[in-house]
Amino acid sequence: MTDPPRAPRADDRVGAARRALLDGVGAEVAASFPGITRLGGQVVAALYLADAPCSMDELAATSCPSA
């Protein structure tokens, strides 16, 4: 007997929404501002969403405090 599919946890949904937001903002910033890459836009969005200042190392490790 197999278990029924489990509903995604709230943390999983929040993480997925955050990744989608960062991807979308990164693409929008890259399209709107010549010379800024998608990754640059994602960095700006991640810093904007963070609850406190964070370093590039924290961003890379995804341990930056976020809402």
Q: What pLDDT does 49 receive?
A: 84
**More confident of the two residues 64 and 63:** 64
Q: pLDDT class for 65, splitting at 50, 70, 90?
A: low
Contact 14, 29 (CB under 8 A): no
> What is the pLDDT at residue 31?
92
- Token pair belonging to 46: 């991640």
pTM for this entry: 0.66
Structure tokens at 59: 């961003």
pLDDT > 70? residue 6: no
Condensed to tens digits (0 to 9), the pLDDT of residues 21-62 reads 889 988 998 899 999 898 888 888 888 888 888 888 888 886
